[in-house]
Structure 1
Amino acid sequence: MQNLPTFVLVHGAFANSFSFAPLQAELALLGHRSVAVDLPGHGFEATYPEAYQAPQDLDAHATEPGSIKGVTLADNAARVIEALERAKRNGPTVLVGHSRGGITTTAVANARPDLIDRLVYVSAWCPVDLNVGDYYTQPEMADVDAGAFAAALVGNPAELGLLRVNFRTAAPSALAAFKHAFAADLTDDEFRTFLNTFQPDENLDTGTSADRAQATTWGLIPRTYVRLAADASLPPAVQDRMIREADALTPGNPFEVRTLEGSHLRWLVHPKPAAELLAGLVRP
């Protein structure tokens, strides 16, 4: 067991370690260790006030304090580094980031490349030339509909100090927008089940230019980018752009690129292909 890698899994926005449970089961059945990290303010550290329960009181919910207020990208990175330090005692580590978790993955790799034997981004943000917010102004993101979050946004982010979304909405237009963005190829039951694992709050810190991939640290680690071919929230065009930018930053250490069919969430709901792909990356 000493030489088997441990997969350290980093979730995306509004998600938590729970969403990785099916993937971890598949990895275990293939003989691999894994640990899913809850970033600060996520999982059992999240805030679910009574106003978020049914019947909802969205006016009250709009002003409720949230535990994730003030959490920074540095806090996220520190949480993952702590897990990597412990996992590294048992052998190699593979750091896997999904969606917004890629920002944390990059920050960790910039800070502690010695703890990581391979980086894996699964349709994840890997900012290189731009800050994450600036990518949203680029042509590759032109077809992304931000209306799903705008319609379900609760409260004023500037006043709350966090992003708050009502994922328990029953508004047909919001549900349709969420499904299109994240899970168009899932059944309605699968989609709603996953939606009910989302937590309402997310922190505001997506990093600065200092948190983009750094050639002298991040760029030394072998890396894989797993494209999700039908992702409507992080489209293949922007995934491919970040791959190109990263490869230009460190041409001697380019991304190994793989592709999985499906939407932003399908690989987590039906994880067998993803588990087999990940296992293949570390097979002797």
Structure 2
Amino acid sequence: MPPPRRPPPPSPGPRPRARPPPSSSSTATAAPSSSGPPFSANSPCAVTAAWPLNCPATGSRPTSPSPTKPPPQNLDTYATAPSLLAQATLKDYATPVIDTVRRVRAHGPVILVAHSLGGAVLHHVANAVPHLLHHLIYIDAVCCTGNLPTAFACIDAPENRDVKRYPIPPGLGDPQHSHITRYNWRTADRAFLDAYRAAVMAEATDHELLTALNYFQQPDESATVSFEDARGNPATWGTIPRTYVRLDQDHLCTPPLQTRMITQADQLTPHNPFHIHHINASHLGITLKYPQLADILSTYT
């Protein structure tokens, strides 16, 4: 999740709102486990019965052609192509998650898992349907409360000074007019790729980094969702047991910021504090630490 840009000015008039396609904060639902609650994973990958599986030619070490050779690109045309995310709101992101939670709840308790910007979506869902959720798990996700009301406020907090060195991928188009931020993740810019790996996935090989960019990073993000109020309501969100998985090498959502978000949330609901786990991983490097993450997730089934 690149640090969000400042929001564009309001649109001169209302436009029809389209439901966004699956994104970094969309939800994938796992098949229910016969021995525990099903997971609803508010991140790019789902967990099935608390243990993720890599099928042949998938995961972080696929046998596909080298991702170091991006396909031909017509960037001028792509920069001005319309996007369904242009009018998307946080509610639009959360609605399909709520629909999924309702369906999965018929099979048993639901655990909602969020990573990165997914924390804002998780709060919207938890505020709306707390009675349908068994547990909330944040994997270095934003946790908006108090004077950190938005995802941008979290990322822009003084405790998160490392993010100032976060390399921004090559941008396409003008967010002031398109109402989205569009990035060229298929870039062959070696300087950017090296800087991005150091900041976000330092433990990865070059092939693992490029595979992660191809798989996890979508080109479009709403230019405004990160600036919407995403605070958890103590009367709804605050009643659900929750866990925070801290990534100790994260330079996007840094350990000091994680501490502040956890502390503020616990002060808001002292009767229901976070359970804490640690993994020595970076923001995207967690995708290479799936055995440790699966061990943690399996304790809640």
The TM tier, using the shorter chain, reads 0.7 to 0.9
- 1:11-30 correspondence to structure 2 within 5 Å: 11=43, 17=44, 20=45, 24=48, 27=51
1:167 to 185, 196, 203: 185
Structure 1 spans left out of the alignment, 5+ residues = 12-16, 30-52
Q: Does 1:8 align with 2:40?
A: yes
1:113 to 130, 135, 138: 130
Question: For residues 33-66 of structure 1, what are the alpha-carbon distances to aligned partners after superposition, in whole Å with 9 as ceiling and x for unaligned?
Answer: xxxxxxxxxxxxxxxxxxxx73222222211111
Alignment-mate amino acid for residue 154 of structure 1? L
Alignment-mate amino acid for residue 148 of structure 1? P
Q: Which has the higher helix share?
A: 1
Question: For residues 120-166 of structure 1, what are the alpha-carbon distances to aligned partners after superposition, in whole Å with 9 as ceiling and x for unaligned?
Answer: 000001111222222333221112146522x5111111211211010
Structure 2 spans left out of the alignment, 5+ residues = 1-32, 54-69
**Is contact 2:52–2:290 with CA below 8 Å preserved after alignment?**
no
Cα 1:2–1:76 change in 2 (3 A) is same
Q: Does 1:104 align with 2:121?
A: yes
Paired with 2:227 and 2:111, the residues of 1 have a C-alpha distance of: 23
**Is contact 2:232–2:238 with CA below 8 Å preserved after alignment?**
yes
Partner of 1:141: 160
Paired with 1:251 and 1:147, the residues of 2 have a C-alpha distance of: 34
Secondary structure at the counterpart of residue 172 of structure 2: coil
Partner of 2:279: 260
Partner of 1:45: none
- CA drift of 1:72 comes to 1.2
Show structure 1 runs of 4+ deviating over 3 A. 23-26
1:71 to 62, 73, 88: 88
Identity %: 38
Partner of 1:125: 142
Question: For residues 197-218 of structure 1, what are the alpha-carbon distances to aligned partners after superposition, in whole Å with 9 as ceiling and x for unaligned?
Answer: 1221112212533x30110000
Cα 1:7–1:271 change in 2 (3 A) is same
Partner of 1:206: 226
Cα-Cα RMSD? 1.9
Paired with 1:24 and 1:266, the residues of 2 have a C-alpha distance of: 20
Give the TM-score, by structure 2 length.
0.78
Alignment-mate amino acid for residue 51 of structure 2? L
1:87 to 90, 100, 104: 104
Q: Does 1:176 align with 2:167?
A: no
Cα 1:25–1:217 change in 2 (3 A) is closer
Secondary structure at the counterpart of residue 243 of structure 2: strand
Partner of 1:241: 260
**Is contact 2:166–2:252 with CA below 8 Å preserved after alignment?**
no
